[in-house]
Amino acid sequence: MNEQTRQWIERTGLAVERLGASRTFGRLFGLLLVAERPLSLDDMAEQLSVSKASISTNARLCEQLGMVRRISVPGDRRDYYEMRPGSFERMLAARMQVLQQMIDLADEGLAAVGPDSPAARSRLTEMRDFYQWTGMEMAAILAQWQKQKRQRLAGTEQERTR
Kindly tell me if the per-residue pLDDT of 90 is higher than 90.
no
What pTM, to 2 d.p., does this model score? 0.74
Average pLDDT score over residue span 103-123: 95
Alpha-carbon distance 12 to 22, whole Å? 11
pLDDT at 2: 93
More confident residue, 24 or 95: 24
CB atoms under 10 Å from CB of 73, counted, come to 12
Contact predicate 34/7, CB 8 Å: no
Alpha-carbon distance 138 to 97, whole Å? 11
CB atoms under 10 Å from CB of 123, counted, come to 15
Q: What is the CATH number of domain 3-83?
A: 1.10.10.10
The domain limits of the chain are 3-83, 87-161
Architecture of domain 87-161: Orthogonal Bundle (1.10)
Average pLDDT score over residue span 112-118: 92
Split at pLDDT 50, 70, 90, the class of 25 is very high
Split at pLDDT 50, 70, 90, the class of 162 is low
Helix (H, G, I), strand (E, B) or coil at 73: strand
Contact predicate 135/100, CB 8 Å: yes
Q: Helices marked H in the chain — which ranges?
A: 3-18, 23-34, 41-48, 52-64, 87-113, 118-161
Split at pLDDT 50, 70, 90, the class of 56 is very high
Split at pLDDT 50, 70, 90, the class of 66 is confident
